[in-house]
Structure 1
């Protein structure tokens, strides 16, 4: 366990891509410790609707990595512009692009992939905003608890979603019931190269916080 205060843990749990140790195996014991803490997360509907698929088999990891790359190079869904200015010339943007390229090239080498899932029956009609909020409110706290637990044990994680462009193929690969279970993400996990992560650059509070009214 790393010697981190709660504030340090919360502020230094980064999306780790380039500093994942691709050569060091992760023990099942460590994974189960993180998963046990994740099960204690609050749920959006007061009952646990989520489950995790832990992928360590090399062939399955390679298959998921291929779907991840396919989702980036040949996406099946349009992602709407969120209106946030992400100037390509900024140093942080350049670092992010380099980090993304590294993961693109080496994802299949990451020793563990975690696929958080939530039980949600698919329907022909798009889900309402309330239904979406309930669905994601049931899985996101558990995943964040898992990531914090991983960080405290010297493990790095990153939330990724490109493979969801081919979610049905991923479901077939992993034996997931596509009609009854929805995948939320693909999280690469490994020991980190060094543990000296720092808080990331973020907007000032007065740019993102609204008191009483927008």
Structure 2
């Protein structure tokens, strides 16, 4: 069992941040540590307790490089599009500054995704063609486990970042990794030890701006 940091539940939940620039690209990540974190993630809930998730842990340098290239191409298209955070103003100067920093770190990661020591892809057993209707129940059987994995990694001194831009090339990446047609990818987590340990809660809008009791 890998060492676990002495973090209380609230501290762990509020300081598990997306780590991009502070991922240590030079330090190897033991597979046993990732396995320990995945054992925790498997305790997450899933619809009807089906546990239909699958986890692809990619350490092979050539495969990481290939996935990183797909991710970079998808990110470049996103960065040049109208929905990119710095391509539109929120009207809030302070928030725009934060979004600019986020965009800068996202670009940094996109340029180095293939260099991250471990890439973890969370996937789910599903039909080859996803339903056009509400998919909350489907992905709700994977995403809690992926977040649990991020928390478990953080508790073991590892950083990660929630990313999905690779899904533009899901078929190509599935072919690269030999993924069956009835398994669909849902998230890509770059995983590495992080540099420094100054994580703190992020600034969020006040709860009362999003809270609705007994109705909207």
The reply to whether TM is greater than 0.5 is yes
Residue ranges of structure 1 left out of the alignment (5+ in a row): none
The Cα of 1:194 is off from its aligned counterpart by 1.5
SS in 2 for 1:189: strand
Number of the residue aligned with 1:136 = 139
Which of 196, 199, 203 is matched with 1:197 structurally? 199
Cα distance change of structure 1 residues 80 and 193 upon mapping to structure 2, 3 Å threshold: closer
Which of 31, 34, 37 is matched with 2:37 structurally? 34
Which of 149, 153, 157 is matched with 1:154 structurally? 157
Q: Is 1:166 the counterpart of 2:169 in the alignment?
A: yes
Number of the residue aligned with 2:25 = 22
The Cα of 1:160 is off from its aligned counterpart by 0.6
Contact 1:111 1:190 in 2 (8 A): yes
Q: Is 1:94 the counterpart of 2:96 in the alignment?
A: no
Which of 11, 15, 30 is matched with 1:12 structurally? 15
Instruction: State the alpha-carbon separation in 1 of the partners of residues 185 and 10 from structure 2.
Output: 30
Contact 1:160 1:185 in 2 (8 A): yes
Q: Structure 1 length normalisation: TM-score?
A: 0.90
The Cα of 1:47 is off from its aligned counterpart by 1.3
The Cα of 1:88 is off from its aligned counterpart by 8.7
Residue ranges of structure 2 left out of the alignment (5+ in a row): none
SS in 2 for 1:186: strand
Number of the residue aligned with 1:105 = 111
Q: Deviations over 1:133-185 (max 9, x none)?
A: 121110011111111000001100111111101110010111101x3010001
Instruction: State the alpha-carbon separation in 1 of the partners of residues 102 and 90 from structure 2.
Output: 11
Question: How many matched pairs?
Answer: 206
Contact 1:17 1:158 in 2 (8 A): yes
Which of 195, 201, 212 is matched with 1:210 structurally? 212
Q: Structure 2 length normalisation: TM-score?
A: 0.89
SS in 2 for 1:29: helix
Give me the CA root mean square deviation: 2.1
SS in 1 for 2:141: helix
Which of 71, 94, 100 is matched with 1:68 structurally? 71
Instruction: State the alpha-carbon separation in 2 of the partners of residues 148 and 108 from structure 1.
Output: 23
Which of 49, 53, 60 is matched with 1:46 structurally? 49
